[in-house]
Structure 1
Amino acid sequence: MSDTGAKLRGRIEPPTLVAIREAANLLRAGDIVGMPTETVYGLAADALNPDAVKKIFAAKGRPADHPLIVHLPSADHLPRWAASIPKDAVALARAFWPGPLTLILKRTSDVPIEVTGGQDTVGLRVPSHPIALAMLQVFDSGIAAPSANRFGRISPTTAVHVQEELGDRVAMIVDGGPCEVGIESTILDFSRDVPEILRPGAITADDIAHVIGRRPRVRGEAAPALVADNAPASPAPRVSGALAAHYAPRTPLRLVEPALLVEEAVTLAGEGSRVAVLARVVCNPQDSRLIWQTMPTESAAYAQELYASLRAMDALSADFILIEALPLDADWRAVADRLGRASVGAGVRDDPPS
């Protein structure tokens, strides 16, 4: 193999065995690489190397107290990372790994505090993307890999998105094609008495209940009667993607109820604004200042297209992005969560402060 240090940083490589081995070697050398997963592309580093992990925070502009998720080659690696593993967590790992479920567990002493944001917990998952799994198996240890974008911005779902975001901050990017799921994993906390979903994703509370026989709490929902015994819940650990402002375009973004969407878009265009619209309904506006993109009507397909669509809209130099507000049912919870956070953080043209 040729000297990887002489190669152009930030380059995109096809997912060959040679590229996968090179990526693993770069990780062993303490560098960072772009890695595809089924959710979004990750910015990968050796999770047991504190100096390498610090490079993730520097490249992203991410606060040091914001914990990272560690990706494992298989559930067999759990004991090295988790100090105690409840039986329900084991059952969920068997049911959903490899897949888009992150388990928050008490960490072992091996896990660097740089990974956990100084907490006594660690987020762990086994991704299902075949290229990610191949990289993990060649590397044979845990890889810390938050989304490969500047902190607070839209998560990348293609290799080109990573290159546009990070350039030569990353040693190389392994191209695994567009991400199949398209939004980040469900985060389920097992570090306290009652399991709680701290970030919604493709795996829902009902999916989890089907496996373990009880429905977890969901952050933002009222506590179930079974656990509402007037005792205050202990504070949840900090986790990725839980800040009010996240996943945000630089263009101001508004969520608009379906019945008002066309009227607001036409009004803004009539006032001279250039308006980009994402909606589940078809519209063929006559005003050239209106750019209308029709999104899928099924939640999983919508999620898969969401970030790429937001990036495309953000590149149009529009004055506003309007997005049709989504239903409140469980199927749409994860996508609605991302859009709500995107709307809070949108409109800042500079990189967010680190």
Structure 2
Amino acid sequence: METKYWTVDKTVDNLQSYPQIKQAAHMLIDNEVVAFPTETVYGLGANAKSNEAVKKIYEAKGRPGDNPLIVHIASIEQLKEIVQSVSDTSKKLMDVFWPGPLTLIFKRKQGAVSEIVTAGLETVAIRMPDHPIALSLIAEAGLPIAAPSANTSGRPSPTTASHVADDLSGKISGILDGGPTGVGLESTVLDCTEDIPVILRPGGVTKEQLQEVIGEVGFDAALKNSTAAPKSPGMKYTHYAPRSPFILVNGDPVFLQELVDEKLAHGLKVGIFAAKEHENVFRASHVLSPGGFDDLDSVAAGLYDTLRRFDDLGVDIIFGEVYPENGIGQAIMNRLMKAAGNHIINQE
């Protein structure tokens, strides 16, 4: 398959009228699959109403069939066509965080979207992305767009169009290049169908921000306990992993360096995923940093790109520092733990 590649300047006016957007939208209408930028990561979009189209997402990504997809919309009118009702809690959250990196779980209307999108669940996950290209594309297509991250399943999510091309060129119909994404981590997923809303995946909107708007918010037990059954089926799978083994180290730099030295002594090429403050402290084959302990937004924005750079460098093993779990640090550590397959070494 030939993958069409368009470059779009997200800052121009009236994006919806641009030929690149119109061509990509026509592909979506024709049940083809197109990658596009959002403020979180690049999404792999298809017509959420079409079984044929949605199957192409799973095929291109190699995604497990019981892992449901998030539906992206460009207007509240589209939301009303898909869900049974919108609670007062959801309305408050939408007023503050939409468009933005917050996905809300609703009870779905029967037949509103493909059963494949929801993996047979009675609920549907929906968000309105805060990116002009994404919103223009969805509006021009006139369809709700199912869109997981535009990468091979299990790999680090894509934050640039080149990441998408590395994984999916030749497997999808088109890629809209709108430059690097902003947040760098996927949206927060919040289940609003319970009396107390529950975070199923931490992301670009923090628990603290949510609680400022609606009060008490819980966490899915599986986020802290790897043996608990997650409420969201997709959270049981390994995600975001580089090709080489990735191990988190909860300890001081001296302890981490000892682990690295042992591997270097055995002739291995070792990478360190380091905080900015320690970037020049460590000795290894390659030391890369997405940001420091005092700039977690930069860590989030650069996390996936840093993991992919280790792949490009061909390291044999990667050790990573842990970050504080305040604010977006919860999402950062969730992604790093997933990338490490929950493998963490604690200093005694």
Q: TM-score, normalised by structure 1?
A: 0.87
Shift of 1:237: 4.4
| Residues 87-102 of structure 1 mapped to structure 2, 5 A cutoff | 87-102=88-103
Q: 1:46 — aligned with what?
A: 47
Select the residue among 231, 241, 245 that pairs with 1:252.
Answer: 245
Equivalent residue pairs, number? 325
- Quick check: 1:246–1:345 contact (8 Å CA) kept in 2? no
- For 2:236, what is the secondary structure of its paired residue? coil
Secondary structure of 1:113's aligned partner: coil
By how many angstroms is 1:270 displaced? Answer: 2.3
1:316 aligns with 2:313: yes
**Alignment partners' CA distance in 2, 1:33 and 1:313:** 27
Aligned equivalents of 2:282, 2:194: Cα separation in 1? 55
Of the three residues 245, 260, 265, the one matched with 1:265 is 260
- Asked if the contact 1:205–1:215 (Cα under 8 Å) also holds between the matched residues in 2, the reply is no
Say what the alpha-carbon RMSD is for the aligned residues: 2.1
CA distance in 1, matches of 2:341, 2:222: 20
Q: Which amino acid aligns with 1:73?
A: A
Rounded Cα–Cα distance in structure 1 between residues aligned with 2:233 and 2:104: 11
Unmatched 5+ stretches in structure 2 = 10-17, 344-348
What residue number does 2:325 align with? 328
Aligned CA distance change for structure 1 residues 325 and 178 (closer, same or farther; 3 Å): same
Contact 1:101 1:203 in 2 (8 A): yes
Q: Which residue is 1:119 aligned to?
A: 121
Amino acid at match of 2:209: D
Measured in 2, the distance between the counterparts of 1:334 and 1:121 equals 23
- Please say if residues 244 and 344 of structure 1, whose CA atoms lie closer than 8 Å, have aligned partners that are also in contact: no
Structure 1 residues without counterparts, runs of 5 or longer: 1-7, 224-234, 347-354
- Please say if residues 45 and 144 of structure 1, whose CA atoms lie closer than 8 Å, have aligned partners that are also in contact: yes
TM-superposition CA deviations, 1:4-42 (whole Å, max 9, x none)? xxxx72232111611110000000011001111111111
1:237-258 alpha-carbon deviations (Å, 9 max, x no partner): 4354x12521111100010124
Q: Could you say which residue in structure 1 is the equivalent of 2:86?
A: 85
CA distance in 1, matches of 2:270, 2:309: 13
Q: Does 1:274 align with 2:269?
A: yes
SS in 2 for 1:339: helix
Q: 1:172 to 1:145 in 2, by over 3 A?
A: same
Over the matched positions of the two proteins, sequence identity in percent amounts to 39
Q: Which residue of structure 1 aligns with residue 232 of structure 2?
A: 238
> Do the aligned partners of 2:279 and 2:287 also contact (CA within 8 Å) in 1?
yes
Give the distance between the partners of 1:209 and 1:283, measured in 2 at CA: 35
1:128 aligns to 2:130 (yes or no): yes
Q: Tell me the residue number matched to 1:193.
A: 195
Deviation (angstroms), 1:130: 1.1
Task: State the alpha-carbon separation in 2 of the partners of residues 345 and 140 from structure 1.
Answer: 41
CA contact (8 A) 1:248 1:345 kept: no
CA distance in 2, matches of 1:221, 1:168: 36
Distance in 2 between residues matched to 1:319 and 1:186, nearest whole Å: 32
Distance across 2 between alignment mates of 1:35 and 1:190: 27
Residue of structure 2 equivalent to 1:351: none
Q: Matches of residues 115-194 of structure 1 in structure 2 within 5 Å?
A: 115-194=117-196
Change (3 A) 1:239 1:142: farther
| 1:102–1:124 contact (8 Å) kept in structure 2 | yes
- Judge conservation of contact 1:121–1:237 (CA < 8 Å) in 2: no
- The alpha carbon displacement at 1:311 in A equals 0.3
Out of 285, 293, 296, the position equivalent to 2:288 is 293
- 1:325: Cα distance to partner? 1.5
1:26 corresponds to 2:20:
no
* 1:72 aligned residue: 73
Q: Which amino acid letter does the alignment assign opposite residue 19 of structure 1? A: Q
Q: How far apart are the structure 2 equivalents of 1:245 and 1:197?
A: 18
TM-score, normalized by length of structure 2?
A: 0.88
